[in-house]
Amino acid sequence: MRCSDADSAGDDEPGGLRARTDGHPAGRLWVVRILVIGSGGREHALVRALARDGEVADLHAAPGNPGIGELAELHDVAATSPAEVAALAQKLATDLVVVGPEAPLVAGVADAVREAGLACFGPRQGAAMIEGSKSFAKQVMTAAGVPTAAARTCRTESEVAAALAEFGPPYVVKADGLAAGKGVVVTTDRVEALAHAGVTGTVVIEEFLDGPEVSVFALADGTDAVALQPAQDYKRAHEGNEGPNTGGMGAYTPLSWAPHDLAEQTMSTVVTPTLAELRRIGRPFSGLLYVGLCLTERGPRVVEFNARFGDPETQVMLDRLDTPLGGLLAASAAGDLAAAGQLSWLPGAAVTVVIAAEGYPDSPVRGDLIEGLADADHVPGCYVLHAGTASDGAGRVTANGGRVLNVVGSAGDLPTARTRAYEAASLIRMRGGWFRPDIAAMPAPGTSPRT
């Protein structure tokens, strides 16, 4: 249904989809034209999942990438321009806009789309600040009673020095604003910690949390929320968890070693009180709330919130999701997740391996030719998602970012899924391209057995 015809849309969301309540499966779409905003591997995974949804008949993406272009019509629009995105959505008469990355959300793209009278999956700018500002996120956690690391927000050199002295090594220094997953330094070197704070501006300095990190996603509609299957990613660049932080070098799901009730526990102790606090302060959250957790000896502690699907965890999560994605996103946008019912998951496991460009994460080289994509796609249970690619003048695929490709392998068990993913990754040829060899070889460092 077009938003102008939706007589049940709430005052806070002028445009909206409504999930079916007329005997059709809960969370199914009234409408079929969807515009996905973004150009990375996460967006390719979203488009792929939506393309597999039988009720989604017309897919568009802006700006997209060559891989996304095989499934959706691409549009040359700046993803972070609220006016451009809203104008495109109106021109296409889209029934749902799905905003993938964090930068457009923090820029207010979801607000502009809704104010244009169209339905949108993704939080408004005010709620998206739960990722846009680490300091704001900490304030929300404190007010909501969410377990997290003690922290100090620092704006001056003296404040930084005092916080480092208070918490001691290992030092955890986080840029307050968006940093594409690379604004965090964890180090025992005080000089390095001070240097990072000096070039970053306002920072949040935290106590160090010791334990494995996991990701729990929750679809939210402002009031209700539904948990997705937990995953684990690998932030450090190199084998053995060495090297600088990155946006993520790979991920896998499910987590056989994690507590059986991890998702439920996260919903009750983190997601529900956080959504309640955001409503209380007038910033209701509708979209995907990403909860980064550290499983410490004292129990789970929140490391970070993101206001969108995580990358690369989304790539494995959506591979295992059996419930059609379009209806879930529509229900979230319409404030109707309560009708979505129990989610269905495919058995088995999925692993994604990120292929990065030479020089990543510091100075990735662009323009190198990529070959072997079709060969990788022919490995059983595997496919390749484009994360940072472009087409050259001859129509060939080239590297156009730091994390260039995501190779996904799935199977009935984790070891086989991992073997398949690496077999497919080995078939891709790109000068200077590289990947971590230990994704899902074992749980990430610090992981303990299930309790």
**Measured distance CA(274)–CA(305) in Å, rounded:** 10
Window from 30-34, 162-166, 260-264, 292-296 with minimum mean pLDDT: 30-34
- In the predicted structure, residue 262 carries a pLDDT above the cut 50: yes
CA dihedral 57, 62, 67, 70 (to 10 degrees): 40
Peptide bond before 169: cis, by omega within 30 degrees of 0? no
pLDDT digits (tens, 9 = 90+) for 163-174: 999 999 999 999
List the strands of the sheet with 151-154, edge to edge.
151-154, 203-206, 171-175, 184-187
**Measured distance CA(241)–CA(56) in Å, rounded:** 40
- The pLDDT assigned to 64 comes to 98
Query: For the chain, what is the mean pLDDT?
Result: 91
CA dihedral 315, 320, 326, 329 (to 10 degrees): -70
Question: Where are the extended beta strands (E) located within 67-155?
Answer: 73-74, 96-99, 120-121, 151-154
Peptide bond before 380: cis, by omega within 30 degrees of 0? no
Mean pLDDT of 400-427: 98
Window from 10-24, 217-231, 293-307 with minimum mean pLDDT: 10-24
Q: Which domains does the chain have, with CATH numbers?
A: 8-125 (3.40.50.20), 152-206 (3.30.1490.20)
- In the predicted structure, residue 16 carries a pLDDT above the cut 60: no
